[in-house]
């Protein structure tokens, strides 16, 4: 591993706002020296890592940064709107928004194998990003939200799913990775100091393929919408109950199975929504969160009333191992 990817032993852990501000000041100076008058391209997902990198670069080089946000239709409710509001509205970023929902969902139609779904989503993202990059002139730098655990946990350097790997060789960008020596808690501290909203800074882990792996089996638009709407209800109710930020990860899954039910005195044939809430430190193991029964009742009531095509709510009691955190 090259020296530039090794965190110095004497590097102080960023645990306070003052240390975060010092890091920001140092990084702005380094970024300005590295980039000069060049242009930088960043794939902005809305996750904490890419958001912190974007906010740092905006402070350092302003409009020399071009952010590309690709909406592949697999984001959680309200996330594309939040990215636009924060980065274009509040931070005045040079942001390109790409609505690729139909393109992704058409490619995924009828594909049920989880690994094939992941590959389609990953490959298509690279193609969309490449197309947008080729429309731009004078881009010489590619910024990425690589963080230190990505380097430590990878046999070959940086995890492929954390960067825009797979771009053609003729797109010869110089990498810009300002938070690559930071741990996740430090990135969050820097994000707070940069003024990013809490629900972006403390965003829970979210898989690269997004809701695509929570719409189990072949993705359909109606079942994907059931995942998105039920997930939004779960997050709202956890926040109202004071569990936001206290439970490591929580989400809903809608598998491609149906059961009988009754609504308005008529038989229904609908999907179940499965709730998942786990605590973990590093995702290698996870324990199930004990949710108060009254909270279960509120979540269940709302999902059955507000989400179309659903007639049951279940809770996944399986720890990791034997189960994985995600269903696919």
**Mean pLDDT (whole number) for 168-190:** 88
28 and 154 in a single domain? The answer is: yes
Band of residue 53 on the pLDDT scale cut at 50, 70, 90:
very high
Chain Cα centroid distance, residue 73? 13
Q: What is the pLDDT of residue 161?
A: 43
Please provide the average confidence, as pLDDT, over all residues in the chain. Answer: 91
Bond from prior residue into 321 cis (ω within 30 degrees of 0): yes
When mean pLDDT is compared across 33-37, 118-122, 150-154, 305-309, the lowest value belongs to 150-154
Band of residue 150 on the pLDDT scale cut at 50, 70, 90:
confident
**Mean pLDDT (whole number) for 12-30:** 96
- 320 part of a folded domain: no
Tokens found for residue 148: 């230190």
C-alpha angle 263-269-275 in degrees, rounded to nearest 5: 85
CATH number at residue 252: 3.30.300.10
Q: What is the pLDDT of residue 199?
A: 83
| Interacting residues of 240 by C-beta distance below 8 A, sequence separation 6+ | none
**Mean pLDDT (whole number) for 187-199:** 94
Helix orientation angle between 184-193 and 48-61, rounded to the nearest 10 degrees: 50
Q: What is the pLDDT of residue 165?
A: 56
233 and 142 in a single domain? The answer is: no
- 85 part of a folded domain: yes
Q: By CB neighbour count within 10 A (0-12 exposed, 13-18 middle, 19+ buried), where does 236 fall?
A: middle
Q: Which residue has the tokens 């973990």?
A: 280
CATH number at residue 87: 3.40.50.620
How many separate domains does the chain show?
2
Q: Are 115 and 123 in contact (CB under 8 A)?
A: no
Q: Are 189 and 17 in contact (CB under 8 A)?
A: yes
Distance (Å, rounded) from C-alpha 22 to C-alpha 33?
Answer: 17
**Mean pLDDT (whole number) for 204-226:** 94
Q: By CB neighbour count within 10 A (0-12 exposed, 13-18 middle, 19+ buried), where does 35 fall?
A: buried
Q: What is the pLDDT of residue 173?
A: 87
Distance (Å, rounded) from C-alpha 82 to C-alpha 80?
Answer: 5
Closest CA to 64 of 176, 147, 168: 176
Distance (Å, rounded) from C-alpha 87 to C-alpha 62?
Answer: 12
Band of residue 3 on the pLDDT scale cut at 50, 70, 90:
very low
Q: Over 90: is that where the pLDDT of 159 sits?
A: no
Q: Over 50: is that where the pLDDT of 100 sits?
A: yes
Distance (Å, rounded) from C-alpha 55 to C-alpha 194?
Answer: 7
Look at strands 65-71 and 94-99 and give their pairing.
parallel
State the pTM of this model: 0.85
147 and 274 in a single domain? The answer is: no
Band of residue 44 on the pLDDT scale cut at 50, 70, 90:
very high
Q: What is the pLDDT of residue 160?
A: 44
160 and 244 in a single domain? The answer is: no
Q: What share of the chain is helix, strand, coil (3-state, %, to 5)?
A: 45, 20, 40
Band of residue 1 on the pLDDT scale cut at 50, 70, 90:
very low
Express as a percent the part of the chain with pLDDT over 90.
Answer: 77
181 and 216 in a single domain? The answer is: no
Q: Over 60: is that where the pLDDT of 2 sits?
A: no
Of 141, 173, 201, the domain-final residue: 201
Tokens found for residue 145: 């939200």
Q: Over 60: is that where the pLDDT of 57 sits?
A: yes
């Amino acid at each position: 591993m090259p020296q530039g990817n090794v965190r110095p032993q004497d590097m102080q852990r960023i645990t306070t706002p003052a240390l975060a501000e010092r890091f920001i000041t140092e990084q702005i100076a380094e970024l300005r020296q590295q980039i000069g008058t060049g242009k930088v391209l960043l794939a902005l997902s809305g996750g904490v890592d890419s958001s912190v990198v974007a906010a740092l670069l905006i402070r350092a080089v302003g409009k020399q940064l071009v952010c590309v946000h690709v909406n592949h239709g697999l984001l959680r409710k309200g996330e594309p709107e939040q990215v636009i509001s924060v980065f274009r509205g509040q931070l005045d970023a040079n942001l390109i928004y790409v609505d690729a929902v139909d393109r992704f969902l058409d490619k995924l139609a009828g594909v049920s194998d989880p690994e094939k779904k992941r590959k389609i989503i990953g490959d298509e993202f690279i193609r969309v990003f490449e197309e947008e990059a080729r429309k731009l002139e004078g881009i010489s730098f590619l910024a990425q939200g690589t963080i230190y655990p990505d380097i430590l946990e990878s046999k070959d350097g940086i995890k492929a799913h954390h960067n825009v790997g797979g771009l053609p060789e003729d797109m010869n960008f110089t990498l810009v990775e300002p938070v690559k020596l930071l741990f996740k808690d430090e990135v969050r501290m820097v994000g707070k100091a940069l003024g990013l909203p809490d629900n972006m800074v403390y965003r829970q882990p979210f898989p690269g393929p997004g809701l695509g792996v929570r719409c189990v089996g072949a993705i359909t638009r109606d079942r994907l919408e059931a995942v998105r709407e039920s997930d939004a209800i779960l997050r709202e109710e956890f926040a109202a109950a004071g569990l936001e930020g206290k439970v490591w990860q929580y989400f809903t899954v809608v598998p491609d199975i149906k059961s009988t039910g009754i609504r308005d005195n008529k038989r229904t044939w609908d999907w179940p929504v499965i709730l998942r809430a786990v605590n973990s430190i590093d995702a290698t193991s996870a324990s199930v969160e004990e949710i108060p029964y009254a909270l279960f009742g509120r979540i269940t009531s709302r999902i059955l009333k507000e989400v179309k095509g659903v007639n049951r709510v279940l809770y996944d009691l399986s720890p990791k191992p034997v189960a994985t955190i995600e269903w696919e």
